[in-house]
Each structure stands twice: as C-alpha cells, then as structure tokens.
Chain A
C-alpha cells in the first residue's frame, strides 16, 4: 500500500479548512466549512485551523475566527495574489508538513478542486470529493465522508483511515454557515514559505467576471425541466415577482435554453431555498439532490406518476404552461394591491 507523507499516528488533532478568497472576501463555502468544522471539532476537542493564502490578506483572519477558526495559518506573499494551482500547492504543502493536520477540507469550487486534486497526490492520501455530509469518529480520529452514489438513491460512507491528512471537498450550499461570533479570538500563525516566480506555472492574462448567480443563497427557487419546452422567459417573469432565482434540470441546459451555472442537482448546484417551485420536472434523483433540503417543495407536472410528487409538499397534476400565466397574474395582482 502507498504510505501517505505522514502517518495518522504523527498527525495533530487539527481540522484544517482552506479559506478561498473570492473578490476580496471569503467564498461562502469556506465559511460553511469553518462552521461545520467548528461543530465537528468542538465535540472531539480538536483545533480548527483556517489556511489563508494571498497577498496582503491578514485582515481576513478575524472573520475566520468569528466563524469558528481557533487558528489562522497565514501565508502572505506577493506571488499569491492570483490563484495559481501550482503556486498554491507548493506553499500549502509546506504548511501541511509543519501543521500535520488529521483532516483537511476544501470547497468543491473550480479552484478548490484543482488544489485538492493535486495535493492529495502529492501527499499520497485519499480524497473524497463532493461530500454531502461529514462525520468525525472521535475514538478513531477518522473522518467519514458521505457521498451520493451514481444515479442517487445510495449514500456511500467513505474513509481513508490509514492516510493523512484525510481530505474531503464539499460543494457550496451543502452546509449552513453559523452566525458569526464577532468577539471570538484566535491565534495567527504567520508561515514563512519558499516561493519563487518559477513556481507559478500559469498566467491569467485576462479575466471577465459579470454578475454571477448564486443559487445556493436564493430563498425562492423556480426550476424548469423538459416539460416547459425551453420557455425560461416565463419562469424569469415569475421569479422577478417573488425575488427568486431560476434554475433548471440538465436537459434544458444541455439543449442550450439556459446557462449551465443554473443547473440544479448532483452535477449542478445544491440549493436549500425556503421554497422550490418545479415546473415540468419529472424528478430524477440526481435533480432531487439539488432541492431536497428545501423547506417546501411545490411540483407541477402533467404525469400523476412522476417521481417528483414523492418529494413534493404540494403536487399539481397539470401542464406547467397552463399554471404559469395564472400564477403570474395572481401574484401581480397581489403585488399591485400591496403597493396601491
């Protein structure tokens, strides 16, 4: 068997979270992981450490403490201003060799996945990707990662007890961020690392970022499937009336009716809205994964046998095209009467 860089017996009782920065602030998933990490470590008496990489980012440490970090390991370096997976792997490796964490969690974002994939190989350890839940077995010091099996319906419990650190990635929206404790204190560990220009191996020569959508934070989610025949305009109209966001199942995305970043489900976004309205969606499990944590689910589908109705609080057997204009009419009237 392959031995990891350090053995579980050498590992510290520490749970590390990679703190990803997005537009000058922490990515939502990093805060969610700190919160979850706090809950897991609190029970087990472990230390939660945030790994903070960047150029001139020490100001963010306080925020990490407020969400549950006991320590922030800071690697501040002019060459870390831009995320480059080779540079970031290079310095993270140096920190891990010193800190020897038992567990290392990263967000399953594009950059988080890039970093996790490289590090797991460099550390010769296991990587459980896109986990839907994490459990810490205190007695054994083992992280148990839940992942949804292919096609859904089955949860697999994965562990890599013989290797360290035990690495997992979790997608945005799977865990809920705790309320920050503003006065919570922590310890800053300032890491000095070796990093030179040649360690940075790709250059970002242009970047265009428009207004990205974040379906994970939407209180109302309006989803369309095959049964709406590509008419997302009317869903957008409805969404505007209830301050919602529009999502979709895979087929309309594949057919180009709507942007891929609005795909909900196992290979899309996992959401936890107050209410999810589903129009013309049959309810394949890999879609359900994306809405199952909604407080309330409403489904409209012509087929009374559609699986979506097994997962819905309110079920309407009807063509979505018939309900949508009526619903818009009612909500518009309501809105006008409030403003009148």
Chain B
C-alpha cells in the first residue's frame, strides 16, 4: 500500500503576548515582537507525526507568507516532516479567508497526491477557524473540524475522527482524502529530533513558490481576491468602571465583597 500522504498547513504569527497596538496609528506594533509557529498548527503537525509513528506516511508542510517564515517553519522538518513548501510572493499578501484558502488550495493542487490535509483549529492572529472549511470547499472534499484524535484505515480509505462538541464529543467517519482541523492543545507537540537537526535547518531544500509557479488566477489572490475590506479602525471603547479600592484585612475585605454581592444579586 502506498504511504499515507499528509499535508499540514502551517503559518507563523507574532507572539500574542508581545503584540501591542500603537494608540495613535491604531496599527499593530510589530517592531521587537518575536515570531512563533502558530501554536494550533503545532498540534496539527503533532497529529500528523503521531499517525506516522504507526504507519508509513510522508508529511509535507505547506505555508503561505513572507520569506522569514522559512527559517521558523524548518522546525517542522526537524520534528519529523519530510517536505516544506512555502508560497511566498507579495502578490499573495493582504489575503482574507477567501483568497487565502484559494491560494492554499492551488498550492495543494501543485503538491499533487494527498490523503489528508491537517490544519490548526485557528490562527492566533485571526482566530476565526474559517480556513479549514474554506480549503475543503475549494478542494471539494469533506471536512471534520476540532479533531482531538485521528486514525486512518488506508485499506478502507476511511479516517475516523473524534470531534469536540459542546459538552462532549462525536466520532466521525469520513472518506479519504479529507480536510481535518485539529483542536488546539489536544496533544503535546514533540521536541525536535536531534538527528534531523542538521538536515532540517541547513541541508533540506525548501520549495518556494511565487504566483508564477502555481496555477493561480490573479483576481483570486492577495488583496485583489479579497472581498473583505477594512473600512475603519477605532480604539476599543473601555467602559468606565468605579475603580474603587476596598482595603482592610482579608476578613474585612471579604465582608465588603459579600455586601456588594448581596446588593447586586438580590
């Protein structure tokens, strides 16, 4: 049986705790902010690697973003992925969900054969989780989102997915190929494999594609291909609060809190 072909979509985001907003321009202050692999994407990669622990598989990382994504995402190769494709071109920039999913789908088409596409649940900077279903739609594939466990029966060409829902879970069965988004923090991403380090960070060849390398229609990519327009920015209104400090011993303060709770709740 052929090896399982897995594509993992990954991106790089600024570290959320370091991002500040410039109060005058209302733009993100990115200077001095460090980058990291989007944490949910690490869970997606780990899920792919867990599959590969048990069956022959080849893992390809696919990303869309500026050239500095390359050194950051090589970590994925060191963890166990075989290939890394980076779609990097100014023409791709400014993409909303529609343009992003289109571009990634065309990249996947260029990679060729695949059985599974794994994505993180959402990106730390967009946090909307709309890429996995959008990608599945462009590729005309089924999808299961918020997966916490995944097993694949290559012979029957079926993936069995545990999906988190409110207050519980469902087990889905879906035909391959399929798109799966992985629930954030559903696994513990492994450390890099020391033996792969030299290859991953220095020797491995990363495939970098510009818009000319992939079959994309100009009107569908980047800012041009994005129906969503930012019409304005404003500072978030902060509701004025009393900011009254209650002082005293813990016992006295506790009584003060209880008194106020009574007032509010009765």
Contact = CB atoms under 8 A, between A and B. Distances in A.
B75 interface: no
Nearest to B28: A150
A118 B133 contact: yes
A25 interface: no
Interface residues of A, number: 96
Interface stretch (B48-56, B110-118, B172-180, B191-199): B172-180
A58 interface: no
Question: Chain A interface secondary structure, helix, strand, loop or mixed?
Answer: mixed
B19 interface: yes
A149 B28 contact: yes
A340 interface: no
A202 B144 contact: yes
B18 to A, nearest CB: 9
Given A124-B98, A126-B226, A126-B228, A201 B260 contact: no
Interface stretch (B59-67, B77-85, B162-170, B200-208): B162-170
B131 to A, nearest CB: 8
Contacts of B145: 110, 113-114
Contacts of B257: 277, 298, 314, 316, 323, 327, 330
B222 to A, nearest CB: 11
B30 to A, nearest CB: 10
A22 B225 CA distance: 35
Interface stretch (A11-19, A94-102, A212-220): A212-220
B125 to A, nearest CB: 5
Interface string B11-34: 000101101110000101000000
B72 interface: no
* Interface size classification for chain B: 35 or more
B130 interface: yes
A158 B229 contact: yes
B250 A322 contact: yes
B142 A86 contact: yes
A315 B243 contact: yes
A274 interface: yes
A208 B241 contact: no
Contacts of A162: 227
Interface of A: 1-2, 4, 22, 85-86, 89, 108-110, 113-122, 124-130, 144, 148-163, 169, 201-213, 219-220, 242, 253-254, 260-261, 266-267, 274-275, 277, 284-286, 292, 295-298, 309-318, 322-323, 326-327, 329-331, 334
Interface of B: 14, 16-17, 19-21, 26, 28, 96-98, 101-102, 122, 124-134, 136-138, 142-146, 160, 163-175, 178, 184-185, 219-220, 224-239, 241-247, 250-251, 253-258, 260-262, 264-265
18 contacts: A2-B225, A22-B166, A110-B146, A113-B145, A116-B130, A121-B102, A150-B28, A157-B232, A157-B233, A201-B175, A202-B142, A203-B174, A208-B170, A260-B184, A261-B167, A284-B17, A314-B246, A323-B257
Given A158-B231, A318-B250, 8 more contacts: A110-B163, A118-B137, A120-B130, A121-B137, A124-B227, A156-B232, A310-B241, A329-B254
